């Protein structure tokens, strides 16, 4: 039985489509491709943004986006979330009156990784966050999490062209979200944590994507002290992680990983001789650059 509270549903017919094509030898084949659809987000009657998404967990995506763009405060009371799949709209209503007309221009977020919003907005609360200094990360947890996450059935393994993020605690993966843009996957987890009153204390954030400045900022805004990825770093991502004391672990594949920030939280308890490499299918996709 899976220990995940939420995990991907690669067999959900709404999330992928079978498409005919040919392989490198000209032989006919059929393969799965990921669906993407627009979702327009409203906050208290004001149109905020249109995002391209696979369409699952629109309530979590909407709330997480608003939180990570500083349009929702952590103490805000949400009075309702309405999702209309036919109109491809989600409406979030809050007790507090909001008005972002002057701050916002209408934006459409593509399935690329950029958020399409002012970078300064993401930095508004960054310097105010204090991450817990007593959090730890055991190297055995890194290896166990990597094995469990790469072995879990996912859209990534089914069709590729997808990013994944996982909320973890110790060596247990809890909430696994995927989307065509990595920031959508992050926002889904942020929204799930808010809606289910989940504390960031003792949590680890795992992502398949690059450790960029925006990924660091969003993890810090969620109050999570550890960020792990099987992909690499950007220089600004490392600089910001060091500035705020975020533990930043990248290139976590098989027996290897690299720590560029927050090493003081790491406990080196794993026996490398007992560790095995990831499944060949996962390794091949990773080396092909799909993460």
Residue 126 domain-assigned (yes or no): no
pLDDT digits (tens, 9 = 90+) for 257-267: 999 999 999 99
Tell me which of 200-204, 218-222, 276-280 is least confident: 276-280
Residue 81 domain-assigned (yes or no): no
Residue 117 is predicted with a pLDDT of: 47
Residue 142 domain-assigned (yes or no): yes
Task: State the total domains in the chain.
Answer: 1
Residue 112 is predicted with a pLDDT of: 45
Residue 51 domain-assigned (yes or no): no
Taking residues 159-174, what's their average pLDDT?
Answer: 95
Residue 243 is predicted with a pLDDT of: 93
Residue 279 domain-assigned (yes or no): yes
CATH of the domain at 178: 3.40.140.10
Taking residues 45-61, what's their average pLDDT?
Answer: 95
pLDDT band at residue 277 using 50, 70 and 90 as cut-offs: low
Q: Between 146 and 109, where is the model more confident?
A: 146
| Alpha carbon distance 122, 92 (integer Å) | 20
Task: Provide φ and ψ at 166, rounded to 5°.
Answer: -135, 130
Q: Which two tokens stand for residue 278?
A: 């990831």
Residue 254 is predicted with a pLDDT of: 87
| Domain hosting residue 190, numbered range | 137-287
Residue 282 domain-assigned (yes or no): yes
Instruction: Say if residue 196 is exposed, middle or buried (CB neighbours under 10 Å; 0-12, 13-18, 19+).
Output: exposed
Residue 130 is predicted with a pLDDT of: 85
SS3 16: strand
Residue 189 domain-assigned (yes or no): yes
Query: pTM for this one?
Result: 0.87
pLDDT band at residue 288 using 50, 70 and 90 as cut-offs: very low
Residue 201 domain-assigned (yes or no): yes
């Amino acid at each position: 039985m899976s220990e995940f509270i939420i995990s991907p549903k690669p067999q959900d017919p709404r999330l992928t489509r079978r498409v005919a094509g040919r392989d490198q030898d000209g032989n006919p084949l059929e393969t799965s491709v990921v669906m993407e659809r627009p979702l327009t987000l409203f906050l208290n009657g004001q149109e905020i943004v249109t995002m391209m998404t696979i369409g699952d967990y629109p309530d979590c995506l909407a709330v997480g986006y608003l939180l990570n763009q500083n349009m929702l405060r952590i103490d805000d009371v949400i009075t309702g979330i309405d999702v209309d799949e036919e109109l491809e709209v989600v409406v979030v209503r809050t007790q507090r009156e909001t008005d972002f007309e002057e701050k916002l221009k209408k934006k459409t977020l593509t399935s690329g990784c950029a958020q399409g919003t002012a970078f300064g907005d993401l930095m508004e609360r960054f310097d105010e966050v204090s991450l817990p200094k007593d959090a730890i990360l055991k190297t055995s947890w890194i290896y166990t999490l990597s094995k469990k996450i790469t072995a879990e059935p996912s859209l990534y393994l089914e069709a590729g062209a997808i990013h994944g993020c996982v909320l973890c605690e110790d060596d247990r993966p809890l909430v696994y979200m995927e989307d065509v843009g990595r920031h959508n996957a992050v926002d889904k987890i942020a929204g799930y944590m808010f809606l289910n009153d989940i504390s960031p204390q003792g949590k680890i954030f795992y992502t398949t994507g690059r450790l960029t400045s925006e990924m660091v900022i969003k993890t810090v805004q969620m109050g999570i002290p550890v960020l792990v990825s099987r992909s690499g770093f950007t220089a600004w991502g490392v600089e910001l992680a060091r500035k705020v004391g975020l533990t930043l672990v990248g290139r976590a594949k098989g027996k290897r990983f690299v720590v560029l920030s927050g090493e003081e939280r790491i406990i080196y308890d794993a026996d490398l001789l007992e560790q095995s490499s990831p499944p060949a299918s996962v390794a091949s996709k990773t080396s092909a650059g799909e993460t």
